[in-house]
Amino acid sequence: MLEKKESTSLPAPPEPEVLFRINPNPEMPSLPSLQDTTRINVRYPLIEPYAYAHIYWDQATNELVYQVEEPPLNESEAMLLETIENGIFELLNISFINVSDTNIIVAYLEKNIKVLLAELGVKVTEEIFLKLIYYVYRDFVGLNEIEPLMKDYFIEDIECNGANTPLYLVHRKYRNLRTNIIFNDMEKLSSFVEKLAQKCGKYVSYANPILDGRLPDNSRVNATYSQEISSRGPTFTIRKFTSEPWSPIKLMQFKTVSPEILAYLWLMIEYESNFVIIGGTGSGKTSLLNSLAFFIPPAARVVSIEDTHELSLLHENWLPSVSREATGVGAEGKFGEVDLFTLLKESFRQRPDYVIVGEIRGKEAFVLFQGAASGHPSACTMHAENVDTMIRRLETPPISLPASLVETIDIVCAITQAKVHGETVRKLREVTEIISVGETQDSIKTNTPFVWDPASDNFFFKTESYMFEKLVKRYGLSREFLQREFMLRSQLLMELYRQNITNYKEVQDIINAYYKTPQTVLKRFNIRM
| Pair type for strands 328-330 and 333-335 | antiparallel
Give yes or no for residue 326 having a pLDDT over 70.
no
Task: Please tell me the predicted confidence (pLDDT) of residue 22.
Answer: 86
CA distance 430 to 510: 27
Which band of pLDDT confidence, cut at 50, 70 and 90, is reported for residue 41? very high
Task: Please tell me the predicted confidence (pLDDT) of residue 135.
Answer: 95
Query: What single-letter DSSP state applies at residue 23?
Result: B
User: For 280-298, how does the pLDDT look when each residue is reduced to its tens digit (9 = 90+)?
Assistant: 988 899 999 999 999 999 9
Which band of pLDDT confidence, cut at 50, 70 and 90, is reported for residue 7? very low
Give yes or no for residue 3 having a pLDDT over 80.
no
Q: Please, what is the end-to-end C-alpha distance for the chain in angstroms?
A: 69
Strand segments, DSSP code E, in 85-161 are: 155-160
Amino acid at 229: I
15-19, 254-258, 310-314, 491-495: lowest mean pLDDT where?
A: 15-19
Give yes or no for residue 9 having a pLDDT over 60.
no
Contact status, residue 110 vs residue 88, Cβ threshold 8 Å: no
Amino acid at 50: Y
Over residues 310-326, mean pLDDT: 87
Over residues 432-442, mean pLDDT: 84
Over residues 267-288, mean pLDDT: 94
Task: Please tell me the predicted confidence (pLDDT) of residue 68.
Answer: 97
Task: Please tell me the predicted confidence (pLDDT) of residue 382.
Answer: 96
89-93, 146-150, 432-436, 471-475: lowest mean pLDDT where?
A: 89-93
Which band of pLDDT confidence, cut at 50, 70 and 90, is reported for residue 508? very high
Task: Please tell me the predicted confidence (pLDDT) of residue 99.
Answer: 54
Query: What single-letter DSSP state applies at residue 324?
Result: B
Task: Please tell me the predicted confidence (pLDDT) of residue 97.
Answer: 53
CA distance 448 to 434: 9
User: For 203-240, how does the pLDDT look when each residue is reduced to its tens digit (9 = 90+)?
Assistant: 899 888 999 888 988 899 999 998 888 889 999 999 99
Mean pLDDT across the chain: 89
Half-sphere exposure of 105 (CA within 13 A, CB side): 20
User: For 327-374, how does the pLDDT look when each residue is reduced to its tens digit (9 = 90+)?
Assistant: 655 555 566 678 888 888 888 888 899 999 999 988 889 889 999 988
Give yes or no for residue 184 having a pLDDT over 90.
yes
Task: Please tell me the predicted confidence (pLDDT) of residue 263.
Answer: 97
20-29, 35-44, 384-393: lowest mean pLDDT where?
A: 20-29
CA distances from 324 to 200, 309, 318, 359 (A): 13, 11, 19, 15
Task: Please tell me the predicted confidence (pLDDT) of residue 88.
Answer: 84
Over residues 85-100, mean pLDDT: 67
Among residues 62, 147, 113, 508, the alpha carbon closest in space to that of 302 is found at: 508
| DSSP bridge pairs for 51 | 47
Which band of pLDDT confidence, cut at 50, 70 and 90, is reported for residue 92? low
CA distance 260 to 258: 5
Query: What single-letter DSSP state applies at residue 529?
Result: -
Q: What percent of the chain has pLDDT over 70?
A: 92
Task: Please tell me the predicted confidence (pLDDT) of residue 36.
Answer: 83
Strand segments, DSSP code E, in 240-377 are: 275-279, 302-306, 318-322, 328-330, 333-335, 354-357
Among residues 30, 516, 458, the alpha carbon closest in space to that of 508 is found at: 516
- How many residues are listed for the chain in this entry? 529
Q: Helices marked H in 24-95 — which ranges?
A: 75-91
Which band of pLDDT confidence, cut at 50, 70 and 90, is reported for residue 60? very high
Q: Taking the model in full, what pTM does it have?
A: 0.81
Which band of pLDDT confidence, cut at 50, 70 and 90, is reported for residue 310? confident
